[in-house]
Structure 1
Amino acid sequence: SSKLHLSPKADVKSLISYVVTKTKAINGKYHRFLNRHFPRFYILYTTFMKGFQMLWADAKKARRIKTNMWKHNIKFHQLSYREMEHLRQFRRDIAKCLFLGIISIPPFANYLVFLLMYLFPRQLLIKYFWTPKQQTDFLDIYHGLRKQSHSEILSNLERVIPLISDPGLRWHLTDLCTKIQNGTHPAVHEILALRECFCNHPLGMNQLQTLQMKALSRAMLLTPHLPPPFLRHRLKTHTTVIHQLDRALAKLGIGQLTAQEVKSACYLRGLNSTHIAEDRCRTWLGEWLQISCSLKEAELSLLLHNVVLLSTNYLGTRR
Structure 2
Amino acid sequence: MVGIKDFYRDMKYYFKIHRKLSTPAKFKCLTRKEIELYHQMPKDMIRVAPMLILSTLPFANYIVFPLVYLFPRQLLCQHFWTLQQRTEFAMEGLRKRLYNYKPVFRCVQAQLDTLKGREEHEHWAYVLGLLGSGVHPKPEDIVKSIDLFRGDPYHLSYLYPGHVKVLLRIHSMHTGLRRRLRLAEQATILHEMDMAIIREGGISQLSQEDLRVACFLRGLNPVTMKTEDMIHWLTQWIFVSEAVDTTSLSLLLHCPILLGYNQPSNWILIH
Short-chain TM bin: 0.7 to 0.9
Q: Deviations over 1:7-37 (max 9, x none)?
A: xxxxxxxxxxxxxxxxxxxxxxxxxxxxxxx
Aligned-pair identity (%): 29
Query: Structure 1 residues 55, 316: CA separation in 2 closer, same or farther (over 3 Å shift)?
Result: closer
- AA aligned opposite 1:57: R
In structure 1, the gaps of 5 or more residues are 1-47
2:7 maps to what in 1? Answer: 55
State whether structure 2 residue 186 is matched by structure 1 residue 238. yes
What is residue 141 of structure 2 aligned with on the other side? 190
Which structure would you say has the larger Rg? 1
Residue 183 of structure 1 contacts residue 318 of structure 1 at CA under 8 Å; is this kept in 2?
A: no
Offset at residue 234 of structure 1 (A):
0.7
Q: How far apart are the structure 1 equivalents of 2:172 and 2:15?
A: 26
Maintained 8 Å contact 2:20/2:26: no
Residue of 112, 120, 126 corresponding to 1:169: 120
Q: Which moved more, 1:262-271 or 1:112-121?
A: 112-121
Q: Tell me by how many angstroms 1:106 deviates.
A: 8.5
Shift of 1:102: 6.0
Structure-2 residue corresponding to 1:159: 110
> 1:153–1:143: structure 2 CA closer, same or farther, 3 Å change rule?
same
Equivalences, count: 267
Decide whether the 8 Å contact of 1:198 with 1:302 is kept in 2.
Answer: yes
Shift of residue 149 of structure 1? 0.3
> What is the distance in 1 between the residues matched to 2:180 and 2:21?
28
2:151 matched to 1:200? yes
Q: Distance in 2 between matches of 1:245 and 1:82?
A: 8
Q: Superposition pairs for residues 1-319 of structure 1, below 5 Å?
A: 48-49=1-2, 51-66=3-18, 74-101=25-52, 112-164=63-115, 166-224=117-175, 226-227=176-177, 230-252=178-200, 253-315=202-264, 317-319=266-268
| Matched residue SS, 2:235 | helix
C-alpha contact 1:180 1:186 (8 A) present in aligned 2: yes
Deviation at 1:97, TM superposition (A): 2.0
SS of equivalent to 1:296 = coil
Aligned residues of 2:130 and 2:137 also touching (Cα < 8 A): yes
Query: Aligned with 2:111: secondary structure?
Result: helix
- Which residue type is aligned with residue 181 of structure 1? G
**Letter of the 1:296 counterpart:** D
Q: Which residue does 1:31 correspond to in 2?
A: none
| Coordinate RMSD, CA, aligned | 2.6
**Structure 2 length normalisation: TM-score?**
0.87
Amino acid at match of 1:250: I
Supply the distance in 2 between the matched residues of 1:182 and 1:316 (Cα, whole angstroms). 17
Structure 1 length as normaliser, TM-score?
0.75
